[in-house]
Chain A
Amino acid sequence: MSTLERVVEALAGISHTVQKPRDGAVAIEIEASVVPQALAALRDRAGFDTNVFVTAIDRYPAEPRFTVCYSFLSTAHNDRVRVQARIPGEKPHIATITHLWPGTAYSERECYDMFGIVFDGHTGLKRLLMPQGYDHHPLRKDFPHQGIEPDRLYREWDQRRRDRSPLRSESEA
C-alpha cells in the first residue's frame, strides 16, 4: 500500500484534497476546522508518529492569507506526509496539535511569534525567538526586513538602568 493510499484511507470521512507538490511528496490540503481530527487520524490510523515541522506561509496580499504547513514522518513505514490548511489574514487562528505531538509546542510558538497565528488550546503560547513585549510579527510579508524600531525594547531597558544607577547624578551634574 502506497503512502498516499494509507493517508487517504486514514482520512476517510474527512474532506481533503490531494496536492501534487514539486518534490513529489505526499501532500494533502484540509479545512482549518478539521485539523485536530484529521491529524489525530493520521497519527493513530496511518502511523505518523513524529512531527517534523509546523510552519506557515504568508501569501499577502492574497486571501486566505496564511497557509499552515505540517510535516509528519512515520519511522515504522519510512515515509512522510505534508498537510496544509489555509486560514484568513484577519485574526488568524487554528487549533493546536500539542496534545497529539508534544514536540510541536515550540514550532507553534515560533509560528505565533513570526506570523501572529494564534493556536487555540496551546498552553503557554508566547513568543519564542523575539523578546517578550515585541510589537510585530517579523515573517509577515508587510514587515520590512530591517525592522521597525528594532532597538526600542533595549532603549527602554537602558533608560531604566540609567535611572536606577546612583552614579549618574554625580557625573552629570
Chain B
Amino acid sequence: MGSLKPADGHASETGFFVTQVDWVVNWGRKNSLWPMPLGLSCCGIELMAMIGPKFDIARFGAEAARFSPRQCDLMVVAGTLTWKMAEAARLIYDQMPDPKWVIAMGVCSSSGGMYDSYSVVQGVDMILPVDLYVPGCPPRPDAVIDAILKLQKKIEREKPFQLLLDGDVVGEYDSGTKRFLRAPNHGVPTTGSHEVLPPTKPGRGRS
C-alpha cells in the first residue's frame, strides 16, 4: 500500500490509521457513483446525452444509472421541480441509502430559474440538501461531468471514520429562508441519528 497517500492535513488532526481508512472509503465511494437520474424536464434530455455515446459518463465511473432509488447514491435533479412533484422527489431522496449526494442540474432546480411562478419550487434546496449546483438552461453535458469531478473532489475531503466516532451528521437548515444551506458531510452509515432532516430544536428548526 505504498502508493496510498493521505490527503493533506489529515494526519496532523487524527491518527494515521484513521486517515488511511477514510482515504480508502472515499476512494471507493467517489469512483463508483451510481446516479439516480431524476429527469424532470429539459435537463433530463441532456442527462441522457451525457450518459449517451458522445460524452460517455462511464469514463468517470458514474454510468450505472439506476431508476430504483435503493441502488443509487448520487441524485441528479435534472429539471424543473414543481410543488406537486416535490413530495415524490423528497420520498425518492429518503429512500436512497446513505451516503448520498445531490447535484442540482440546471437553473430550475438550483433556484427556480426562469419559472418564478405559483407551481415551481424556487430551488430544490427548499426540500433537500444539495451538494453541487450546475447553472445553465440546460447545462451542457460537459458542465455536468465537471460537476461530477468536483463532487469526487468533495468526497475526497470527507472524513467518514471520524464522523462515526463523533456522531451526528445533519445538513444545515435555515428556517428563515426555508432552505438547506449546507449538505451533510457523510459518515459511515449508522441507524437513526444520521438521517438528514432539518433540525427542529427551538430557535433553529422550522416554525
Contact = CB atoms under 8 A, between A and B. Distances in A.
Interface of A: 129-131, 136, 138, 143-148, 150-151, 153-154, 157-158, 161-162, 165, 167-168, 170-172
Interface in B176-207: 178, 191-193, 195, 197, 199-201
B94 to A, nearest CB: 8
Contacts, number: 59
A171 B195 contact: yes
Nearest to A138: B118
B127 A170 contact: no
B169 to A, nearest CB: 10
Q: Name the 4 nearest CB pairs between A and B, nearest first.
A: A147-B118, A171-B193, A131-B84, A154-B86
Interface in B43-90: 83-84, 86-87, 90
B126 interface: yes
A171 B118 contact: no
B118 A172 contact: no
A145 B116 contact: yes
B90 A130 contact: no
A162 B197 contact: yes
Contact of A172 (B84, B120, B200): B200
Nearest to A143: B118
Contact of B119 (A144, A147, A167, A172): A147
Bin chain B's interface residue count. 20 to 34
Contacts of A171: 168, 170, 192-193, 195, 197
A131 B83 CA distance: 9
A153 B83 contact: yes
A138 B120 CA distance: 13
B191 to A, nearest CB: 8
A151 B118 contact: no
Contacts of B126: 151
Contacts of A157: 87
Contact of A154 (B127, B195, B197, B200): B127
A165 B196 CA distance: 12
Interface centre among B86, B118, B191 (most CB of A within 10 A): B118
A73 B162 CA distance: 69
Contact of A150 (B87, B119, B193, B200): B119
Nearest to A136: B118
Nearest to A139: B118
